[in-house]
Chain A
Amino acid sequence: MKLTHIIPLLTLTTAVYAAPQSFDFKDPKGVNNAVFKLDAPLESINGSASGISGNVSFDAENPGATTGKVVVAAESLTVPNPMQKEHLHSANWLDVAKYPEITFEAKSLANVKTTDNVTTADATGIFTLHGVSKEITVPIKLTYLKGKLSSRVPKLEGDLLVIRGNFVINRNDFNIQKGQSEDKVSPTIDLSLSIAGASPTK
């Protein structure tokens, strides 16, 4: 076999077997956050959660194959009003002592569109909240930042993956005060996820 035949074959083999990268979403800078909003008569209840972890498998050559799991520590959900925070964490609402994690496990992506380093897609997966798991589809935006890890974490080479997603859930679907207090707190919850994961090179 000639060398001119071997080189394309090697390139193809490398492309086929290029392993997806694993991105760790435990952010040392504490910037990752999930924001939630519920409408209420006097003012909307706006809060955020910072206790985010999880792993996502991403292949820059094939972003449509992205899978992974993002975990939010329920205890980290915060609102600026102390009484609202106490209610939110209590057994009547999220019961964070019994259900300490809120998770989304992405199984597949559809409608994948990639331009340069940005991919948009609809991620379908299992969303678990308050001990109830449901399959949902979330529009997401993935931004692959090759070689940018050292800009955030000095002396650590690697890549970053930024995931953004906005979606709406209904608390009744997750048995959170089902059918109750709807005049005081909206049954729909707007969720917004902005997280960055790191994949250090070894």
Chain B
Amino acid sequence: MKRTLQILALVIALGGGVTWAVTGANRAWTKTEVQIKTLDEVTGIEGITYHKKFQPGVDFLGAAFGGAALLASASFFFRKPKTNQPNQ
């Protein structure tokens, strides 16, 4: 159990960090939509539309590391399984 929690913590921390990095390392809040600006050539107005796109931010990264830290801490409450000593 101890080992399982530690591996899970590592997977969550690495998974969160890698996801955050490959999606643009957004140092602001998580976004689920991004603005797309298009120019209306007749009026010169920049129209704004929103496109659904998940862009994890520092809150996502914090949650991933926080969750990983919690699991890693919880693992210390479990003892290592006893191994049988060979008879002498």
Contact = CB atoms under 8 A, between A and B. Distances in A.
Interface of A: 29-33, 35, 42-43, 46, 48, 50, 78, 80-84, 143, 145, 148, 151-152, 160, 162, 194-196
Interface string B33-57: 1110010101111111110000100
A80 B45 contact: no
A116 to B, nearest CB: 15
Majority secondary structure, B binding face: strand
B29 A162 contact: no
Contacts, number: 62
B43 A42 contact: no
Interface residues of B, number: 21
Contacts of A82: 32
28 contacts: A29-B40, A29-B47, A30-B49, A31-B43, A32-B45, A33-B48, A35-B48, A42-B29, A43-B28, A43-B29, A48-B35, A78-B33, A80-B31, A81-B29, A81-B31, A82-B32, A84-B29, A143-B43, A143-B44, A145-B43, A148-B42, A151-B42, A152-B40, A162-B43, A195-B45, A196-B40, A196-B42, A196-B45
A78 B32 CA distance: 12
B32 A81 contact: yes
Nearest to A161: B43
B33 A194 contact: no
Choose among B28, B35, B45 the residue with the greatest number of A CB atoms under 10 Å from its CB: B45
